[in-house]
Amino acid sequence: MATELKDFIGKDQLDVLSAMLNGEEGEFFKEKLADIKKAIESMPGPYGTEGQGMQMKAFLHYFTGGSDWYIFEKDNVENEPQLQAFGFACINCDEQNAELGYINISEIIASDVELDLYYKPETLEDILEKHHQPLPDEDSEEESQDDGEDVPLGSFDE
């Protein structure tokens, strides 16, 4: 399946990046886009991080204002546009209601989020620490993954 950057980068950001390819720093941005494409292609598909727990890695980071989305898995339906992914979302700095769950990629890029061009993959554990989330114990984590529901991570500290 060919990776389409337009399925992961908003139109405005993609337009700016395309223009930058023709500028004096064109080689730098060409390498950045190639790195992003590689990250997307190496990202696991649905349930590809199952069993990795706190060590699963986020491959992409989107942000706007006080909101962040970290993407761990992508849909990999052949010949279909990228619609959703599995990740962690912290909306409007509301760390208490931050959660793991399914994220509609096309919805967030339509909302003018930016893909972090300088993001380096990091584990869920690192991301939770960054967002001041209590780390779940292993029993709570396994229960939350089994029921298929989005669970606010703040609920693990009960």
Q: 144 pLDDT exceeds 50?
A: no
Q: 33 pLDDT exceeds 70?
A: yes
- Over residues 33-55, the mean pLDDT reads 93
> Tens of pLDDT along 47-63?
999 999 999 999 999 99
Domain positions in the chain: 5-157
Q: How far apart are CA 82 and CA 61, in angstroms?
A: 16
Q: How far apart are CA 149 and CA 7, in angstroms?
A: 25
60: CB partners within 8 A, 6+ apart: 8, 36, 39, 40, 43, 70, 71, 115, 116, 119
Q: How far apart are CA 6 and CA 9, in angstroms?
A: 5
> Tens of pLDDT along 64-115?
999 999 999 998 766 666 678 999 999 999 988 999 999 999 899 999 999 9
> Tens of pLDDT along 4-20?
888 899 999 999 999 99
Give phi and psi for 121, each to the nearest 5.
Answer: -50, 140
Q: How far apart are CA 5 and CA 25, in angstroms?
A: 20
Q: How far apart are CA 65 and CA 80, in angstroms?
A: 30
Q: 137 pLDDT exceeds 90?
A: no
pTM for the complete prediction?
Answer: 0.80
Contact 64, 112 (CB under 8 A): yes
Q: 154 pLDDT exceeds 80?
A: no
Q: How far apart are CA 127 and CA 116, in angstroms?
A: 14
